Amino acid sequence: MTENILQINKLCVDFPIKKNIFGKTITKLTAVDNVNFNVNRGEIVGIVGESGCGKSTLVKTLVGLIKPTSGSVIFDEKHEISKFKNSQWKLVRKDIQMIFQDPMASLNPAKKIYDILKEPLDLYYPSLSKKEAYDKILTTMYNVGLNESHLDKYSHEFSGGQCQRIGIARALICEPKLLICDEPVSALDVSIQAQVVNLIKSLQKNMNMSVIFIAHDLSVVKHISDRIVVMYLGNIVEVNTKKELFSRPKHPYTQALLNAIPIPNCDDDYFDKSLLEGDIPSPIDIPNGCPFRTRCPKSQDRCENEKPQIEDNVMCWYPNQN
């Protein structure tokens, strides 16, 4: 049986927007709504969805940057990290690392690259000698395509792609069990994106890590992922293997996302595909019933009155049966 490195159960994240004079929340923004999924050891799980669907809030909750409103997150089958206090995170911090979206903003501009990479070693491997730490840093730099001459420089001396490689090196130097990538290529040139994605995929295979990979680009997610989670307005609407999801999408939202992928040299039949219309509703005022019903071409009365639960990997009363 495949073991889970991460198990997420009924996770909810709300942000209070307005309170009354007694301090009770009367208006809230629901960013993550009753999310359930797992990540297996050595697996890459992609998460896709429009801006504002809750992807980044979800992963920031998984690393303790945001406290969940309810639900549980179990790491390594023994740590309920959703209940951790700040002091408890040191138990698992080296095993859960994150690559942030903006490579320039995630590096300390006042420190040289050597000091940035040495800091995690000082925290979690204090017994290493100076030579052992240097050798580990150098090996990690080589693994991400950089070299020894880069260690004595500051982050502003590098390109965006190089800064992202440094961010990857910092995340990997403690040899984590779970790597979380929050849109790690969205701020990079297209020519650099493929290099970074292939680098993450290669390192994941060599280190047998589990990876959660967020991206807007479905072709990137398809290339790197084993399974794909589709989110809409804080909900998971579909989760499946990449083969099943791209060949037989069940949820109307998933199908609309796939229809929106540009195809070079396409014929006229391509333009007959149904594309998603309208804007995503406000997470402060989520529609009753199915959250996707206001934009769904298959919406019926039941969709307005009852919220579907995930069954057969899809949250829809009338899934596509193709």
Cα–Cα distance for residue pair 137/254, rounded to 1 Å: 42
State residue 268's pLDDT score: 52
205: three-class secondary structure by DSSP: helix
State residue 264's pLDDT score: 64
State pLDDT tens for residues 47-106. Answer: 999 888 999 999 999 999 999 999 999 999 999 999 999 889 989 999 999 998 888 888
State residue 271's pLDDT score: 46
Cα–Cα distance for residue pair 256/107, rounded to 1 Å: 37
State residue 190's pLDDT score: 80
Q: Which pTM value belongs to this model?
A: 0.91
CB of 73 within 8 A of CB of 80?
Answer: yes
Q: Which helix (H) or strand (E) holds 5?
A: strand 4-19
CB of 136 within 8 A of CB of 121?
Answer: yes
Crossing angle between the packed helical segments 160-172 and 130-143, to the nearest 10 degrees: 130
State residue 105's pLDDT score: 87
Looking at the domain 4-305, which fold is it?
Rossmann fold (3.40.50)
Give the number of residues written for the chain: 322
CB of 289 within 8 A of CB of 80?
Answer: no
State residue 123's pLDDT score: 92
State residue 18's pLDDT score: 77
Cα–Cα distance for residue pair 134/117, rounded to 1 Å: 10
Q: Which helix (H) or strand (E) holds 99?
A: strand 96-99
pLDDT tens, position by position, for the chain (322 residues)?
468 999 999 999 999 887 777 677 678 889 999 999 999 999 999 999 988 899 999 999 999 999 999 999 999 999 999 999 988 998 999 999 999 888 888 899 999 999 999 999 999 999 999 999 999 999 999 999 899 999 999 999 998 889 999 999 999 999 999 999 998 888 778 878 888 899 999 999 999 999 999 988 888 899 999 999 999 999 999 999 999 999 999 999 999 888 877 766 655 554 445 667 777 888 888 889 999 999 998 889 999 999 999 998 999 999 986 5
Q: What are phi and psi of 82, to 5 degrees?
A: -65, -20
Q: What are phi and psi of 24, to 5 degrees?
A: -90, 135
Our separate counts of H helices and E strands in the chain read 9, 10
Residue ranges of domains in the chain: 4-305
